Amino acid sequence: MAITWLIYVMISPMLDIQFIRENAEVVKQAAIDKQLNPKVVDELLVLDDQRRQLIPEVEQLRKAANDLQRQIKGRKPTPDELSQGKELKEQLRQLEPKLKEVENSFRQKLYFIPNVPARDVPIGQDETGNQVVRREGAKPDFDFNPQTHDDLLAKLNLLDTKRAVKIAGHRSYFLKGDLMLLEQAIFQFALNKMVDHGFTPFAVPLIVREEAFQNTGYGPWGMEDIFWTQDEGGLIGTAEVPLTAYHQGEVLKEEDLPIKMVGLSPCFRREVGSYGKDTQGIFRVHNFTKLEQVVYTVADEQITRDWHTKMLGFAEEILRELGLAYQVVLMCTGDMGAGQRFKYDIEVWFPGQNKYRETHSDSYFNDFQARRLNIRYQAKDGTVKYVYTINNTVIASPRILAAIAENYQTKEGRIKVPDALKPYLNKKFLGA
């Protein structure tokens, strides 16, 4: 889908242009570290020089034209004044389109400037550069060879991917019977937890405009992973997009912060670039359901980090109560998003696969998203600043269903219901 850049001309810059001017090498290094093209920084600065030269020229010509209009108001202009007016009009006719073109190119280029990673983010090209911070929980100690979730769930007639593929294509699935009920139980359990932590629950739009993806940092990177509609909108891949954009164009008050939102939604991703990966089971699919937490904080990175850690803790609390072993992973520069400043992943232990697999992502952006969305707040001292934004997965299905199936299986091929979910499901075993 072609990106309609012109509708973004009036959006604020993604990084402060003054910061980019003064720290060009830092921003170029950020692009290199994130496996992006650093030349875009030099190209942006060339355009910035051009616009800074053209803006005063155009403003001076406009002022001269306005002064001349006031000078001749109410009388017939002299031949010299007519000649001067024509000359000013011609100069503006040539320079104004040029300035508009440069401004548009400048704004377009700004969208390709990545956020600068925090200093303690490890440098790495891909997932091999990620660092395990800690491991939590006890792995199940089986006296048998555990099955993978897809085999186990198919045998119990709780999962059907064969018929789903016939109807909807690859990476599709049916959840059946108790597995569908277990999914509902998980989301009710997790949503109750987040409401108890003071988050406002949201049901969000599933189709949003292109600018919502662009302004939350999913564009220009990652736009190919979106399912686009015929109406210049796209299906969301996470509730982060509409929730982060919720207060776009608004000026909040410092006493309103932090704003804590949690959204439950279906999510849709094309999974471009994942050909041949995780083709079995329900780990990597085109549509899934996710509970996502989003927080706006004041423009203070330490306060943002504190909230980032709290939000990680909310997700960990749920995993602990579900009795799942997991590890927290600090993402390296090459495996984090272009807009993210700092990111953790949580990876849950999958005994059937004998490895940890990613189930959660926890990121903060400082003002990167807020500048695009123009979300600001009036501080107590009267100044107006951009909010800082954070998001984190609370729980996502069907990955968490796969994890529960593999961790709670029995030697007889049954699946126990985690104690935390029994009040919601009123069963001891799935399919029983």
Task: Determine the pLDDT at residue 284.
Answer: 80
pLDDT class of 12 with cuts at 50, 70, 90: very low
pTM: 0.89
Fold of 127-425: BirA Bifunctional Protein; domain 2 (3.30.930)
For 121, 142, 163, 238, the CA distances from 147, given in Å and listed in that order, are: 36, 11, 22, 30
Q: Which numeric CATH code is attached to 12-110?
A: 1.10.287.40
Q: Is 127-425 the same fold as 12-110? A: no
Single-letter residue type at 186:
I
Please say whether the dihedral angle defined by the alpha carbons of residues 183, 186, 190 and 191, taken in this order, is positive or negative: positive
CA–CA gap between residue 172 and residue 281 (Å, rounded)? 9
Please, what is the average pLDDT of the chain?
Answer: 91
Q: What is the pLDDT of residues 338-386, one digit of tens each?
A: 999 999 999 999 999 999 999 999 999 999 999 999 999 999 999 999 9
CA–CA gap between residue 405 and residue 149 (Å, rounded)? 6
Task: Determine the pLDDT at residue 272.
Answer: 59
CA–CA gap between residue 299 and residue 149 (Å, rounded)? 44
DSSP secondary structure letter of residue 330:
E
Mean of pLDDT values over 26-42: 95
- Residue 178 clears pLDDT 60, i.e. is over it: yes
- Residue 275 clears pLDDT 80, i.e. is over it: no
Residue in the structure block whose two tokens are 């003071």: 198
Task: Determine the pLDDT at residue 361.
Answer: 94
Task: Determine the pLDDT at residue 11.
Answer: 36
Task: Determine the pLDDT at residue 73.
Answer: 83
Q: What is the pLDDT of residues 185-233, one digit of tens each?
A: 999 999 999 999 999 999 999 999 999 999 998 888 888 889 899 887 9
- Residue 149 clears pLDDT 60, i.e. is over it: yes
On whether the CB atoms of residues 393 and 292 are closer than 8 A, the answer is yes
Task: Determine the pLDDT at residue 276.
Answer: 53
Which residues have a catalytic role annotated?
269, 284, 358, 361, 399
Quick one: which of 396, 338, 344, 311 has its CA closest to 132? Answer: 344
Q: What is the pLDDT of residues 17-33, one digit of tens each?
A: 899 999 999 999 999 99
- Kind of pairing between the strands at 388-397 and 233-235: unpaired
CA–CA gap between residue 350 and residue 336 (Å, rounded)? 23
Enumerate the domain spans of the chain.
12-110, 127-425
Q: What is the pLDDT of residues 413-424, one digit of tens each?
A: 999 999 999 999
For residue 358, which phi and psi values (nearest 5 degrees)?
Answer: -70, 130
- Residue 3 clears pLDDT 50, i.e. is over it: no
Task: Determine the pLDDT at residue 270.
Answer: 87
What residues are paired with 346 via a beta bridge?
A: 328, 360
Task: Determine the pLDDT at residue 278.
Answer: 55
Mean of pLDDT values over 7-17: 50
- Residue 9 clears pLDDT 80, i.e. is over it: no
8 φ/ψ sector (left φ>0, alpha ψ -120 to 50, else beta)? alpha
Give the number of other Cβ atoms within 10 Å of residue 106's Cβ. 21
Mean of pLDDT values over 147-159: 92
Task: Determine the pLDDT at residue 279.
Answer: 60
Task: Determine the pLDDT at residue 286.
Answer: 85
Helices (H), 326-398: 368-373
Task: Determine the pLDDT at residue 277.
Answer: 58
